[in-house]
Amino acid sequence: MPRPLNVQMPDATWLRIDQDEWKMLTCQVHAKPRGNERFATDHLIVRRHDDGRVLVYVVLAPASGELQTASGEVVAGADISTTVWRIIKRFSLPDSIATECLAALQS
């Protein structure tokens, strides 16, 4: 059984998600070199809850390897694309991550 994840919302509250109830729709990874051949990775993840809600969030994994859930948003309505773009800009992720994420959601 996967462990629950905590995702911080824009209002600084935390959303605890049960991975069995929030199905993964896509996960795009961006690796960044961090000296001494170590890489930090950022993950842009989109999940859909059993009740239809959609969650878009970023998990930052520094070169130390410790996962840190940074932030996310529950999508209002069907505007996943706008939320994806807003989140990648907030965390200075490359546009290619959003493009890949949205393409994966279309397939």
The pLDDT, as a whole number, for residue 37 is 54
Instruction: Output the CA angle 63-39-90, nearest 5 degrees.
Output: 80
Phi–psi pair at 83, nearest 5 degrees: -65, -45
**What pTM was estimated for this model as a whole?**
0.84
Summarised one tens digit per residue, pLDDT across range 57-106 is 998 876 666 666 668 999 976 689 999 999 999 988 899 999 999 999 99
Predicted pLDDT at 80: 92
pLDDT score, position 91 = 85
Q: Which residues contact 67 (CB under 8 A, 6 or more apart)?
A: 59, 60, 61
